[in-house]
Amino acid sequence: MAHQATPSSQKALMMELKSLQDQPVEGFRITLVEESDLYNWEVAIFGPPNTLYEGGYFKAHIKFPVDYPYSPPTFRFLTKMWHPNIYENGDVCISILHPPVDDPQSGELPSERWNPTQNVRTILLSVISLLNEPNTFSPANVDASVMFRKWRDSKGKDKEYAEIIRKQVLSTTAEAERDGVKVPTTLAEYCVQTRVPSQDSSSDLLYDDLYDDDMEEEEDDDDESDMESVGEAGGISGMEDGEMSTRCYDNQDDSGNEDS
């Protein structure tokens, strides 16, 4: 019986997952919700030091479509969040996660929306930037947006917004303890990149299967082409995501990651 080819989206996701586990983004832990399902990821986000979210442990799910990376994933917080750009159900409203369609009424430029060159790493960086620097022009949570502006414009004298965030941060302590996670509270701890060990060998087996699929496809291509094409077809090309340098950040500008 012929071996069924693996969808290209699964191959892309496996490569991204491996890259993020080998070279993590500071402040994040990435795992699969279920080891056999590459389309649903669980994300643990550590609140950056020197921000309102310092010491926080926030969980979220990323759900990928079958045609990824041509369509964007969804990003939903499981932890209750009070933020101008997060809906009550936890969905994050940010331009990078909006489909690449022409929508003049949204106020977004096409370049701000999703495109296939984006990846999970850029999404994570956009989300952490958005937490620290909300966009209040078209908020998902109007009340949180008004409260944030009062806190920002008063330079912290109006403490209502900050107090709500700190209460939410403190409420995540118990879950971090249950998960056996030590939440970083200093910049030095936050900058440490730690590989997340696989719970079992299934991830490695899945990666091997995907690699075998690629090798089989390449062998078929080699049979149909002359020897000059072998050098171009052989091997799995490395994704740019795996080659991206990671850096620790404190307070970045999110001007390129506006929500709507």
pLDDT digits (tens, 9 = 90+) for 236-247: 233 333 332 223
Tell whether the model's pLDDT for residue 33 goes beyond 70.
Answer: yes
Over range 35-64, report the average pLDDT.
95
Domain 8-192 grouped into CATH 3.40.720.10 = no
Give the residue with greater pLDDT, 201 vs 178.
178
* pLDDT band of 107, cuts 50, 70, 90: low
The pair of structure tokens assigned to 103 is: 């929508």
* pLDDT band of 6, cuts 50, 70, 90: low
Give the residue with greater pLDDT, 202 vs 110.
110
- Between the alpha carbon of residue 219 and those of residues 6, 42, 228, the distances in Å are 15, 35, 14
Contact 159, 97 (CB under 8 A): no
The pair of structure tokens assigned to 119 is: 């990846």
Q: Which residue ranges make up each domain of the chain?
A: 8-192
pTM for the model: 0.71
User: Distance between the two ends of the chain, CA-based, in angstroms?
Assistant: 49
Across the chain, what does the average pLDDT equal? 77
Confidence (pLDDT) at 4? 57
Q: How far apart are CA 125 and CA 55, in angstroms?
A: 18
Helix (H/G/I), strand (E/B), else coil: 142: helix
Active site residue 191: no
- Other Cβ atoms within 10 Å of 166 Cβ, number: 16
Choice among 17, 62, 86, 93 that is catalytic:
93
Closest by alpha carbon to 194, among 202, 206, 182, 205? 182
